Amino acid sequence: MSSIVEMKALNKFYGTHHVLKNIDLSVARGEVVVVIGASGSGKSTLIRCVNGLEMYQQGSLLVDGYRMPVEADRRLGDESALVEIRKGVGMVFQQFNLFPHKTVTENITIAPMRVRKKSKQEAERAALKLLERVGLQAHAHKYPGQLSGGQQQRVAIARSLAMEPHLMLFDEPTSALDPEMIGEVLDVMRELAAEGMTMMIVTHEMGFAKEVADRIVYIDHGVILEVGRPDEFFDNPKNDRTRSFLARVLRH
């Protein structure tokens, strides 16, 4: 199977702080990879490298057939591959980052119109379909402030999907939500997975991870310590540190 993401010996530093250490990780098309680990272990940095929101210094990173330039090359202005990569990669953050002064529909149609040069009519038709998919067709003309956190995050997912991504990145998409709203967002993500979307997800929702992931990646101080199928990973972790991490998070 061809990989959509291929990291080889990837290293990332913030100044002298070495935050990703010799990362080797491939993601196949259609695969759901869940990244877990303690706070500060490098999870966000890892997935932000995939769409170039963070720069890496050493190793190689192929995304969707393009080579992501290393920091030194980006500083020299070599960003053409980055532009192509970003067209095919959607990202959903902990904070929904919707435009507060634009309606739900406008939030979803703005990028397809500007970047994909879709007509307003075409973009709005697609937006409505996406809103139906995330269960929010009745809220098309509202402003983000009139919606709950769970609804806003579903709009943010629809907005990403409007660009027809080949890969979706999620960085703790439910961490800012009240507990009663987590389920509705996870349901949308579950459906996406079932439809075959390729996803890299950082989450602390272990039940969800176990259910939806094809593989779990456990990262500790910038090192991938363990990768496995969820059943193997949760039921029979090989590494002592993985075991103690799981004991800590599963107790809650």
Q: Are 46 and 23 in contact (CB under 8 A)?
A: yes
Give yes or no for residue 14 binding ligand ADP (CB under 6 A): yes
Give yes or no for residue 45 binding ligand ADP (CB under 6 A): yes
Binding mask 4-43 for Mg ion (x = CB under 5 A): ----------------------------------------
14 binds, among ligand ADP, Mg ion, none (CB under 5 to 8 A by kind): ligand ADP
Of the pair 53, 113, the CB lying nearest Mg ion is at: 53
Residues 144 and 177: their CA atoms lie apart, in Å, by: 15
Residues 104 and 130: their CA atoms lie apart, in Å, by: 11
Place of tokens 């979307």: 197
Give yes or no for residue 37 binding ligand ADP (CB under 6 A): yes
Which of 27, 36, 43, 103 binds ligand ADP (CB under 6 A)? It is 43
Q: In what order do the strands lie in the sheet with 198-202?
A: 89-92, 167-171, 198-202, 32-36, 215-220, 223-228
Query: Assign residue 64 a region: left if phi > 0, alpha if psi is -120 to 50, beta otherwise?
Result: left
User: Which pair of structure tokens corresponds to residue 63?
Assistant: 């995304």
Dihedral angle sign, alpha carbons of residues 125, 131, 132, 138: negative
Q: Are 6 and 13 in contact (CB under 8 A)?
A: no
Give yes or no for residue 100 binding ligand ADP (CB under 6 A): no
181 binds, among Mg ion, ligand ADP, none (CB under 5 to 8 A by kind): none
Give yes or no for residue 42 binding ligand ADP (CB under 6 A): yes
CB of 245 to ligand ADP, least distance (A): 12
Place of tokens 């929702």: 205
Which of 19, 36, 123, 167 binds ligand ADP (CB under 6 A)? It is 19
Give yes or no for residue 40 binding ligand ADP (CB under 6 A): yes
# residues near Mg ion by CB under 5 A: 1
Of the pair 105, 174, the CB lying nearest ligand ADP is at: 174
Residues 36 and 31: their CA atoms lie apart, in Å, by: 16
Q: What are phi and psi of 195, to 5 degrees?
A: -80, -5
Give yes or no for residue 39 binding ligand ADP (CB under 6 A): yes
Q: Which stretch binds ligand ADP (CB under 6 A): 13-21, 184-192, 210-218, 233-241?
A: 13-21
Give yes or no for residue 44 binding Mg ion (CB under 5 A): yes
Interface residues with ligand ADP (CB under 6 A) are 14, 17, 19, 37, 39-45
